[in-house]
Structure 1
């Protein structure tokens, strides 16, 4: 990979990972437009670790408080503070884990076509618009295990390229009556175990491959994806605190149409 490819793909991953616009759609489209070869597993691991570090840093104070409440709840055998949110994130991860193990190979084989990605980009963009038309008033205090499982099932659908993990989980939360900030916060917290699991599986494959790597290139990819992801999350949270999801809906529709033009 040359330096231009590393920079562009790292920024694409960092910017699109947490926005409701589908990182998979962009990572398929960009190499296609530039005629690049697949970036490889080592690069995927580097940018995933970068985005994980970004979200951990963004929520560092919140995560410390959540883990403290969680450990206290275990010791006291009752809910303490915001410990329910930790349990909710854990239960929300289960459907994606099951769906990934059961259908991961099928998705990889049949669902990565340009047609599928273009279609899901448009369909789930429209769903985001419908969900965002009248956001509810529910906050994190209203998140239960049942609600977490429902949003977790939605998250499992994001294994299909073009759906967007953050997009579908925010959409599900909005449909369930949560406000935009809570929907986004819970979506981002849900991303932590998912990225950990995905990154862990990719790392295992990487270790088994016994391939040599350009560590400088991987380091650059890690830094660029981490910095761009952090900035993007910060700007996104500021935006939705005073505006709707419409700009992202419009972007998804335009992207879907362009994907049809490029791939069909």
Structure 2
């Protein structure tokens, strides 16, 4: 991997990690369209450490408050039903599904799951799911001619059932094209949470899973498939760009819907189907890393 490739891929990672459009799919597609080698699952996981560092800094006050409340609940100096302590416990519980499945499906994630036909399918299907969830949220918030607006839930309303469902949604992101934020935000909207609450918890829930995945994959960063220097450079780029994207995205969803992302996902998926279907692009383009 060249330094230019690492710059572009780090930029792509930072731009797409927090938007509901799938960073892993875009890294894979960037390599395929540019006729580069697939950066691989290890590269993706390690560069996500950069974007998760952006999460830790942007949400530092929330994270510090949650960790403090959780720790007090563990040592018996705080109430376990405190909303921040409960969120801390639910983040841990919700991280279990993706951790277990990530280990069990490691070979598939690094192989068959990277087929461009599967990525096209998940882009379209999850785009439709996100669109449905977003329209439902808009209908609840706006009410209608014959009914009042429905009060949607905030993070303080999070319970064990919802936390486990969030965790199951996050586990879907092991398949490129699903999108971690897209799956968890869709789940949150369907569970009745506000757009901002769904997005905020999506970012918080991702912290343990992404950090664990990135640290686990560090051992592969210099194994001949992923060059250490360019990977570290891409991670720094992903951090800087990712932080700016978080700040923009949280402001965007406070007053706008997710429909632009829905349309983008569906159009990109259909384009990918067309390119593969007409043999303009191999479904395995760029898979042979070297």
Aligned residue among 190, 200, 204 for 1:189: 204
Match of residue 67 from structure 1? 67
Match of residue 204 from structure 1? 219
Aligned residue among 100, 103, 108 for 1:101: 103
Aligned residue among 140, 161, 165 for 2:176: 161
Distance 2:41 2:260 in 1: 32
Alignment of 1:83-94 (within 5 A): 83-94=85-96
Aligned residue among 216, 240, 250 for 2:253: 240
Distance 1:244 1:237 in 2: 12
Aligned residue among 152, 176, 180 for 2:191: 176
Match of residue 79 from structure 2? 78
Could you say what the CA RMSD is over the residues aligned between the two structures, in angstroms?
Answer: 2.1
Quick check: 1:17 aligned with 2:17? yes
Query: C-alpha deviations, 1:189-223, integer Å up to 9, x for none?
Result: 0110111121022013347x3899563x3443122
Contact 1:21 1:252 in 2 (8 A): yes
Residues 213 and 163 (structure 1 numbering): CA distance in 2 closer, same or farther, change over 3 Å? closer
Structure 1 unaligned residues grouped into runs of 5+: none
Distance 1:41 1:92 in 2: 22
Distance 1:88 1:174 in 2: 18
SS of 2:75's partner is helix
Contact 1:43 1:221 in 2 (8 A): no
Hey, which bits of structure 1, 4+ residues long, moved more than 6 A? none
Contact 1:46 1:221 in 2 (8 A): no
Aligned residue among 137, 142, 145 for 2:160: 145
Quick check: 1:116 aligned with 2:131? no
Which piece of structure 1 moves more, 130-139 or 11-20?
Answer: 130-139
Aligned residue among 243, 246, 269 for 1:256: 269
Match of residue 221 from structure 1? 234
Distance 1:249 1:90 in 2: 29
Structure 2 unaligned residues grouped into runs of 5+: 141-151, 278-290
Distance 1:111 1:43 in 2: 15
In the alignment of these two chains, the number of paired residues is 262
Contact 2:21 2:123 in 1 (8 A): yes
Taking structure 2 as the reference length, the TM-score comes to: 0.84
SS of 1:158's partner is helix
